[in-house]
Amino acid sequence: MTAAPLPPDEYARLLDLARYEVLDTPPEEAFDRITRLAARLLNAPVAFINFVDQYRQWSKATSGPGDTTAPRRDSVCAWTILGAEPMVIENAHTDPRFIHNPMVTGEPHIHMYAGAPLTTPAGHRIGTLCVTDHQPHPLTADDLHSLQDLAALVVGELELRARNLELSRELNAQAHRNADLQRGLDHARVLEGIAALMDLDLTPEEMTLSASALLAEALSADYIGLLIFEEEGLRVEAAHLNPRLPQTTTDLPAQRPDWPNSITWSLKTLGQPLYLNDYPSHPDALATGVEGGVQQIAWLPLGTRSGVTSLLMAVRLRTNLVPRWRGSDRALLEAAGRSVRGTLNQRLEVELSRQEARHDALTGSLNRRAYEEDLIRRQTDVAPFMLAGLDLDGLKALNDQEGHAQGDKLLQVFAQTLKVTLGDAGEVYRLGGDEFVVLSNADEETVLEAVDTAVLAARQVGALRGASVGTAYSSEAAGEGLLALADERMYAVKRRRSLQNSTPKLH
């Protein structure tokens, strides 16, 4: 399966899409009516109005069964928005771009697809009006003209919808539009800058704070902070501070005893952006914030990952020349939020996959790949360390007598007990079979005591003679030579133990 390339105007296109504020909104009859007309005119069982944002294809209206909301990498419509003319796929099962696409191989089981791009007045293609069929369905030139006409009607409805929203928020619509045109150019550059940050080697927190700092000037914000809800409470990190801010506001990054009584504290489960134009009138407004001159606040949820919830908070003071959160401000914040959220989610998926790839499926210990990576990292550091190679004695006999399931259980108990006993003193790696390695900053006695404890725990599962251990220090060898040295000493221990067990005792 091949994902569609990005259009050359991607960042301006995303901003134009955000301007309509249509993503994740409930069904609307005006759009449902157009999909019904499309299905009827082209005699197709299914018709959709789809929008393509940064990370997904989202369906606004549907006529017929199925749902085409999907990751962008699986989006057929992402190919349609690359050109100005309708795209027709007569047989998706033979098209190399879509032959493995889940919408073709699974549900809604697309055989024929025809889509016309939704082109905004600014010339950006933000989505499609499309029809599909699960069987062969030839289309005429008149059919495609009808599809284009209906796509133009969709854009007309979007423009009308956006204008109604705009007029409801602004008394002077024309002046607002002129200002938004200039801001739109600035905002597109901000989004492009934020997208560039996503490729840098930054922690999630550093990336979010850097993106927030870029937003500050475009939003005319006096303060932008990252709110982080952790087990210990609420932490605030400032990304932008206006020098005019009073001390009570600049002290926000510190823990505050009055946070639990504030509106901010109640927003941990916030699912949608929240904008306040008159913060002082809110019943849960912080007295210190009101005294400090806070007038407008916007909260943007960034999601929960690994038990940590984060929000972006933008603040304007009473003295700020911008009297309220404008439509363009909201569009920029929400487009930036989608970009940051999507990148954070992708990084989490990558990190989880990386962690899974570093762990042994049976015992939960780190695996050979992790050992090789960590050995290289440790040897580039100046701190000395010890490598202990160990081999379980008697596991093969246990497998032969009681079965491999019992042997696997013994390995699990041994590995988990060894890790718990070592704690922060070292990391446990299973290289394969009954062969383990420990990398430790502790002394040899500490590691041997931990191995003895793990052997005692493993003997509760099955007969285990013990564990042979050989140690080597980082000052003695490098790379694989260090493991070879530890193995040599471990096998020497094993041989001595074997000789002792085989020597007849004199009476």
The CATH superfamily assigned to 10-168 is: GAF domain (3.30.450.40)
| CA gap 43, 38 in Å, rounded | 8
Do 178-354 and 368-502 share a fold? no
Sheet with 435-440: list strands edge to edge: 426-432, 435-440, 386-393, 466-473
Run of H or E residues at 346: helix 327-357
Per-residue CA distances from 328 to 60, 127, 219, 457, 504 (Å): 22, 20, 9, 64, 90
For residue 355, the number of C-alpha atoms closer than 13 Å in the C-beta half-sphere is 7
Query: In this structure, which CATH number among 3.40.50.1110, 3.40.50.150, 3.30.450.40, 3.40.50.300 belongs to the domain 178-354?
Result: 3.30.450.40
How far from chain centre, in Å, is Cα 180? 31
Give residue limits of the domains in the chain.
10-168, 178-354, 368-502
Run of H or E residues at 294: strand 294-305
Q: Identify the architecture of domain 368-502 in CATH.
A: 2-Layer Sandwich (3.30)
pLDDT in tens, the chain (507 residues): 578 999 999 999 999 999 999 999 999 999 999 999 999 999 999 999 999 999 999 999 999 987 889 999 999 999 999 999 999 999 999 999 999 888 888 877 899 999 999 999 999 999 999 999 999 999 999 999 999 999 999 999 999 999 888 777 765 555 555 665 666 666 667 677 766 766 767 676 677 777 777 777 788 888 887 777 777 677 777 667 766 665 555 554 444 454 565 777 777 788 888 899 999 998 888 887 888 888 999 888 887 777 778 888 888 999 888 999 988 888 888 887 777 777 766 665 555 566 666 788 888 888 888 898 889 888 888 789 999 999 888 888 888 888 888 888 989 999 999 999 998 889 999 988 889 999 998 889 999 999 999 999 888 888 888 888 999 998 888 888 899 999 999 888 888 877 766 555 544
Is the model's pTM score more than 0.85? no
| CA gap 337, 332 in Å, rounded | 8
CB 93 within 8 A of CB 99: yes
Work out the end-to-end distance of the chain between its first and last CA atoms, rounded to an integer number of angstroms.
77
